[in-house]
Structure 1
Amino acid sequence: MEFKVNCGIWGAMFGVPSIVADNFLKLATGGQIKVLLYLLRCSGKMCSTDDISANTGISAEEAEEAVLFWQQANVLSPQTSGTSAPAPVPSLMEQTVHNSEPVQPHVQKTAEPAPDHKTNLSGQEIAAVMKDSQDIRELFKIAESILGTLKNSQMNSMIWMYDHLGLKKEVIITLLSYCASIEKTNTAYVEKIASVWAENDINTMAAAQDEIQRLSASRDYISGIMRAFEMTRRPTTKQAELIQQWRNAGFSVELIRYAYEKTIERIDKLNFDYINKILLSWRDSGFATVQEVKNAETTYRDRNKKAASKNGMNDNDVEEYESVINQFLH
């Protein structure tokens, strides 16, 4: 089906930058398109957050985030142009905020303990931070390529990590890339790791990459245990502590799987404490691999069969004897 615009029914018109149609129809959300069209229609006028919200049907917070999106895309500018070219559309960032303190320039601070709560910067304040900090501008730009269009809460979070936790731009980017790779990009999760990194002085690319390797190895180990135990949910806190102890002790997933099989044979259910006792018993006996355990079991059974044969036991007696005696191997 083909369509043709009916130019004859148009009244007053306003222009839309070609870059919007060429590059942003797929990238921008419906709300962001609404905000841009409204601001273009109001070219030359000052528009408040409430004005945009009332005329587009989106929330004031979404309106601020949309303006930031178009500013980062260089479609809107915080300041009007004095040239003869069409002036950029005035945005929320141009408004004078009455009865409020002026926004302070963004200054990189040394690492300090993170506050209990982040400062919830408004869209205007975030724009001021971006204007004064090239690191923040670059951080947001790269973060968008990792996370997609940034929300106000995400920008607040990254400013908090940079400003208050003292993490370097490249370290934050490394952290965001890792979180995206494991599909856990919610703000609370990212901030939790960022706080740990700040506390442990993980603030160089080398240190961050080493920590990510450690975290990845730990996740792989836990995933291996979950598959071995046929678990369909994440381990509880206590179970996770035992798994970490097993990893620190050097127990292989294969050995833990064998301990799990022995546990099912004995008590017919998954029991972390029982598995732990088996593993500790094997370690105390000097067994580090499944093959070593199986060799010991074979030797133990052969010895028991010989002892049972000398005592005149029949096959049923031997099986019962083995089932009891073999308990002490573990």
Structure 2
Amino acid sequence: MDYCFEADSWGASFSFPWAAAAGHLKSCSEAQIKILLCILAGPRYTDSSSLAELSGYSESDVDEAVAYWHKAGVIYVNGEKSAPVKSEATHKFSGKNEPVSVVESVKPTKASAVERKITVKYSQREMLQKAENDAALKSLINEIQSLQFSINGSELAKLIELYELYKFDAPSILLAADHCRAAGKCSIAYLHTVMINWYNEGINTYAEVEQAIITSAERRSFENKILGIFGMENKPSKKQQQYMSEWKRLGFNFDLIELAYNKCLDTKSKLSFSYIDGILKNWANSGITSVEQAEDSDIQHKKKYSAVSEDKPSYDLNEYENFARNYDFGDAPWNNRKDGDQ
């Protein structure tokens, strides 16, 4: 039998429904509890055969367990909500099936531009119906879980939001999800943030998402190389990332950046992104694009400084002038002569 479940949460990480714990753990069988765990940990769209293989019980045991938990109000099956069994427990949870609501918030920026952020609230039944009526969305939900993304109710809402309201197609979302997974971020919330940022930058099609991922990988590779040169093991700050992005944009090569880093250590005895940035910008303004040009510029500067030093007199006229301006002539020897002194 094919099943389409709607439980409180499901996926690789899930919370155990209170409705199952209250009044059923003592009365249900071992098979029923194990099959329930398989339902919660598995995908929404499955069948008796898959659950039987996963749990180790027969398909008839699976069907009986599904019917038991459905009647108990713990899970919904094929979009149908059963009447929940009343519990004597004192805990009360809201079971309202609220309609879809769309809230549009307006946030003015400093430049007087208007940024719109759409927030959507779906009921569990509506999310289930959307997935059931859209084969691409249904496939997206199943495939994204195969990428080690766990999905609960609120996370599914974010996924549907990307697909339905922001108009990212399923292949684009899966491509972005794989990109996040490669970065060690198997989280729908993280995926949602990344894709909304792209959307605000005008990125929406599959080709644009693919290019954004390539650009992100190149930037990360550039930053990692610089962090290696600087001997940094901790994550760079946003300001440091901005410096590195600018160096990449201006086309500074790693040898030139390393030379600027060494000069920074020679002068300040510590790492300073702002000081290195000043050196690199000064070279850029002078048309210096290579280590050879930078070293030649240093040689010319030292020669010029040495020539000026050789032409400088052994006394400092400014020092004498300051001395004369500040000297108290009342203390001069000739003002202290006694009568009869020559």
Look up the equivalent residue of 2:20 and give its one-letter code: I
Corresponding residue to 1:119 among 116, 121, 128: 121
Which residue does the alignment assign to 2:181?
180
8 Å contact 1:143–1:176 — kept in the other structure?
A: yes
Distance 2:250 2:222 in 1: 13
1:236 aligns with 2:204: no
Q: What is the aligned residue count?
A: 251
Cα separation, partners in 2 of 1:302 and 1:149, compared to 1, 3 Å: same
Shift of 1:136: 1.4
Give structure 1 stretches of 5+ with no counterpart.
1-16, 18-27, 36-48, 58-62, 78-84, 105-111, 312-330
Shift of 1:175: 0.7
Question: What is the TM-score with the length of structure 2 in the denominator?
Answer: 0.61
Which residue does the alignment assign to 1:95?
81
Cα separation, partners in 2 of 1:163 and 1:271, compared to 1, 3 Å: same
CA RMSD of aligned residues (A): 3.8
Shift of 1:299: 4.7
Counterpart mapping for 1:84-163 below 5 A: 88=63, 89-90=66-67, 91=70, 92-93=75-76, 94-96=80-82, 113-115=116-118, 117-119=119-121, 121-122=123-124, 124-163=125-164
Which residue does the alignment assign to 2:45?
72
8 Å contact 2:12–2:42 — kept in the other structure?
A: no
Give structure 2 stretches of 5+ with no counterpart.
2-10, 27-35, 51-58, 85-94, 101-114, 313-342
Distance 1:290 1:127 in 2: 61
Corresponding residue to 2:21 among 41, 53, 61: 53
8 Å contact 2:150–2:187 — kept in the other structure?
A: no
Cα separation, partners in 2 of 1:290 and 1:126, compared to 1, 3 Å: same
For each residue in 1:306-326, what CA deviation from the matched residue of structure 2 results, as whole angstroms up to 9, or x when unmatched?
A: 787899xxxxxxxxxxxxxxx
Going by fraction, where is strand more abundant, 1 or 2?
A: 2
For each residue in 1:22-76, what CA deviation from the matched residue of structure 2 results, as whole angstroms up to 9, or x when unmatched?
A: xxxxxx97979xx8xxxxxxxxxxxxx543233359xxxxx79944825423239
Distance 2:292 2:147 in 1: 45
Distance 1:132 1:211 in 2: 31
Larger radius of gyration: 2
For each residue in 1:63-100, what CA deviation from the matched residue of structure 2 results, as whole angstroms up to 9, or x when unmatched?
A: 799448254232399xxxxxxx9594334223247995
Q: Residue 73 of structure 1 aligns to a residue in which SS? A: strand
Question: What is the TM-score with the length of structure 1 in the denominator?
Answer: 0.63
8 Å contact 2:177–2:191 — kept in the other structure?
A: yes
Distance 2:216 2:13 in 1: 38
8 Å contact 1:31–1:66 — kept in the other structure?
A: no
Cα separation, partners in 2 of 1:296 and 1:31, compared to 1, 3 Å: closer
Higher relative contact order (CA 8 A, sep 6+): 2
8 Å contact 1:67–1:76 — kept in the other structure?
A: no
Which residue does the alignment assign to 1:210?
211
Which residue does the alignment assign to 2:253?
252
Shift of 1:218: 1.1
Distance 1:76 1:136 in 2: 23
Look up the equivalent residue of 1:74 and give its one-letter code: D
Cα separation, partners in 2 of 1:159 and 1:97, compared to 1, 3 Å: farther
Going by fraction, where is helix more abundant, 1 or 2?
A: 1
For each residue in 1:99-151, what CA deviation from the matched residue of structure 2 results, as whole angstroms up to 9, or x when unmatched?
A: 956877xxxxxxx9542x442643x4433232122121110121012125434
